[in-house]
Structures are given as structure tokens and as C-alpha cells.
Amino acid sequence: MPRFDAVLFDLDGVLADTAHIHFAAWRRLAEELGIHLEPTFEEKLKGVDRMTSLDLILAQGGPDGPVQRTVEERRVLADRKNGYYQAAIAEQTPDDLLPGARRVLEEVRAAGLKTSLASASHNAPPLLDQLGIRPLIDAIANPAAVKAPKPAPDLFLEAARLVGVPPERCLGVEDAVAGIASIKDAGMVAVGIGDPTVLTRADYVVPAIANFYISDFF
Ligand code: BG6
Ligand code: MG
């Protein structure tokens, strides 16, 4: 008997190599505002929704301290970042899937488990189409439909609800510290993709999705 009935996947940095594309777009915007982001800042932004990411960047600020912007100005800045991101992912094709991503989705399905997406990104649905994996995903949780973003458990709970599986029968797969917190606080088992010294709350950590085999969880 498999220990799980569903696998809930994050997208950016788990199935698609888009985490660094998000960060490159933020860095470009930040530079335009006179804010320098160290490479280490990327970890803080992973899994974090668009407006909160902008707030973290403005709060770090530049040489003169935090950068203040009105609500309307922040909305314009967030839209600008999204424009940079969308232009950068416009040409994504199935070749841009992370190695092993399609195999994992196919094996999870073949084992009789549901697949559900728990991505904070509003760009996830079109990206799934571009990557050619939408038919392998049973449900997509809409980040606009939940109360609180990651690290709150809401989005993973919604992804589980959509496939009708209770949290304790769900395995969540995430590359972000915020995402692992979301999975654990939802009462699920967490597989981290990345560095175990960073993803300290994960139950298991593998370096990449290519190292994930659902048969290890039977
Ligand atoms: C997450 C990314 O998947 O989605 C974050 O890890 C990003 O970097 C967030 O900010 C929201 O994405 P979007 O496309 O709605 O701005
Ligand atoms: Mg991610």
C-alpha cells in the first residue's frame, strides 16, 4: 500500500527551472531603484508571493535605508517585475522542464496517486501549458483563492482539497523554506528539493527532482 494518495508539487524550482528567472527579474527592478540584492537574497524570496517579495526588497532598501513607496507605486513596480518575468519565460518549452520532472509526474500517476499543484505563482497555469505538463496535473490550487500565502498552510491544504485527499495522505514537494513550512503546518510530509542545511524542516531532502522516486515512499 502506498503511504500517500496524492503528491502536491510546487512549480518554480521544483518542476521548472524558473526560480532564478524570478530572482533575475527582481534584481533588475531592484537595480532600477538603486537597491543591490546579494545572491543570498534569492533564498528569502523563494516561494514568497509577488507583493511580499517587493516589500522585502523595499525594506532592505539601498545605501539610504529602506525605500518607501505608496500602495499605487508598489502595484506599478510589481507589475513591472511581472513584465520582466513574463518576457523571460515567453519562450519556455517542454525542453525547459527540469530533468526528471515529467518522469516523476508520470510515475506518480502510474502508481495511482493524484497530482496537484501548489504554486504561489499566478503565472503557473500558462507555464504548465508551455512546458506541456498540464495533462499530468489533476488540480491547480489558485493562490488568489486562499486567505494566506506561503508560509501559511492554506495553499497546500487547498491543493489537497481539490483532489479530495486528507493532509496526512499527502506528500508535498518544495524548494523553498516558506513552502516547506506551508507543507509541515498543513500536517503533511515534506520533500525538500535543494540543500538540507537550508530546508531544515523537510522530512526528506534530495538535491533535485531527478532524484525523486515515488517508489521510495511505498
Ligand atoms: C513562487 C516563486 O512560485 O511564485 C516566487 O517562488 C514568486 O519567487 C511567486 O514571487 C509568485 O509568482 P508570480 O508569478 O505570481 O509573481
Ligand atoms: Mg519554488
> What's the CA gap between 73 and 75, in Å, rounded?
5
pLDDT of residue 37: 98
Domain extents in the chain? 6-17+93-217, 19-89
User: Could you confirm whether 12 is annotated as catalytic?
Assistant: yes
pLDDT digits (tens, 9 = 90+) for 28-84: 999 999 999 999 999 999 999 999 999 999 999 999 999 999 999 999 999 999 999
Residue of 113, 118, 90 whose CA lies nearest to 13: 118
Question: What is the CATH code of the structural domain delimited by 6-17+93-217?
Answer: 3.40.50.1000
Residue given cell 513584465 in the structure block: 83
Catalytic member of 12, 138, 154, 175: 12
- Ligand 1 center from residue 52 Cα (angstroms): 10
Which atom of ligand 1 is nearest to 12's Cα? 3
pLDDT of residue 158: 99
pLDDT digits (tens, 9 = 90+) for 85-144: 999 999 999 999 999 999 999 999 999 999 999 999 999 999 999 999 999 999 999 999
pLDDT of residue 192: 98
User: How many residues make up the chain in this entry?
Assistant: 218
| Residue 46 CB less than 6 A away from ligand 1 | yes
Can you name the CATH fold of 19-89? DNA polymerase; domain 1 (1.10.150)
DSSP E strands in the chain: the ranges are 6-9, 114-117, 139-140, 170-174, 189-193, 204-206
pLDDT digits (tens, 9 = 90+) for 155-185: 999 999 999 999 999 999 999 999 999 999 9
Which atom of ligand 1 is nearest to 119's Cα? 3
Contacts (Cβ under 8 Å, ≥6 apart) of 52: 149
User: Could you confirm whether 17 is annotated as catalytic?
Assistant: no
Nearest CA to ligand 1 atom 16: 50
pLDDT of residue 1: 60
